[in-house]
Structures are given as structure tokens and as C-alpha cells.
Amino acid sequence: MDNWKIYTKTGDKGETSLIGGRRVPKHHMRIEAYGTVDELNSFVGLIRDHDIDPYYKTVLLRIQECLFIAESLLAKDEKAEKVKLPCLKESDITLLEEEMDRMNEELPELHNFILPGGHVVASHAHVARTICRRAERIIIALAEKMPVQEIIIRYMNRLSDYFFVLARKLAQDKGASDILWKARACE
């Protein structure tokens, strides 16, 4: 039996393959888009590794599965028509909305901007939020030049909101308060 090797040496000259086989430079916008989503996915795994309510771990695992789907959709060569991939669904977005609504019921109303922090796991959720926003910006730029499923953009937009609410809820669960930002007056 052959052992599967992680290294293929096919990328040694700065190129990689999209799903469908077309070779592109590793700095190609599609690679940048799905690579940033992959970075986010890794950070979600880091949040899951914390001592948090198992319910959140279950939701985060589902989010990671959706991010993998988004990665594959972003990695598909738009000219490769016969490649079948999994899909994101409206129910994936609805889940995020329902989770935010549920968590917000237990959080104090927010009237100020907050500063990231309060607890390590909350800070990790804030980092995930910022990576998600970066991924969203890259995906939108990609969509201006080549086909991108609109649901991916909507999912990423909602997901960054989810991470904001999750950060607040995790801080609360760990006994930390929101750190309110107070603008200082200019003289």
C-alpha cells in the first residue's frame, strides 16, 4: 500500500492547481481568497479547543464545515463545469442569525463600541472576526473580476457578525465584562 505524502513538489515554482486542474500562481486571487478562509477555519479550531460550552463547540464545528465548503467553491476553476462540489445553503446563514439572536438575549444591550479583550477565548473570537472581515473583502474583490457565488459573500458577512456576538458571550461566560471604548475629546 502506498503512503500518501503531503508534499507533491508541484508547487515548487510558485504555482498551484485550482479544482478542475488549471495551474495558477500562488498569489492568484482565488488562492488568496480560499487561503484566507482557511486561515479563519484554523482560528475557529483554536476557539473550539478552549474550555467553552460544548454547545458552542458543536456550532463552531458546523461553521468549520461551512468554511471548508466555501474554500472548495472559491478554489474551483470557473471554467471547470463538470466538477461537483458541496454547497452552502440558506439554512447555514439562518443558523448564524438564530445563534446571534439567542446569544443576544443573554447579553447586555450595547450602546458603545467595545475593545477586543476581556478573556483569551473572547480575544480569539475577535481575531476570528477580523480574519473573517479580511476574507470577505478579498472575496468581494475576487467577485468583481470572476464568478463567485453570492451566498459565500453573505455567509462571510453574517459570520463576522456572529464572531462579534460570540466574543461578547464567551467573555460573559468567563466572567469578563465588555471593555467599552470611550472616545476622548480633542482639545
Residue 138 maps to a domain: yes
Of 92 and 7, which is predicted with more confidence?
92
State how many domains the chain has.
Answer: 1
Residue 186 maps to a domain: no
Read off the CATH number of the domain in which 52 is found: 1.20.1200.10
Contact present, 173 and 153 (Cβ < 8 Å): no
Mean residue pLDDT of the chain comes to 88
Residue 185 maps to a domain: no
To which residue does cell 479550531 refer?
45
Identify the domain containing residue 35 by its residue range. 22-180
Average pLDDT, integer, range 83-107: 94
Number of other residues whose CB lies within 10 A of the CB of residue 60: 22
pLDDT band at 105 (very low <50, low <70, confident <90, very high): very high
Our separate counts of H helices and E strands in the chain read 5, 4
At 24 the pLDDT is: 56
Q: What is the pLDDT of residues 1-60, one digit of tens each?
A: 567 666 566 555 666 555 555 665 556 677 788 889 999 999 999 999 999 999 999 999
Whole-angstrom distance, CA of residue 91 vs CA of residue 172 = 27
pLDDT(107) > 90: yes
Residue 143 maps to a domain: yes
Residue 145 maps to a domain: yes
Whole-angstrom distance, CA of residue 33 vs CA of residue 142 = 8
Residue 159 maps to a domain: yes
Of 78 and 137, which is predicted with more confidence?
137
At 185 the pLDDT is: 85
At 4 the pLDDT is: 67
pLDDT band at 85 (very low <50, low <70, confident <90, very high): confident
CB contact set of 83 (below 8 Å; sequence gap of 6+):
19, 20, 76, 77
- Its pTM stands at 0.88
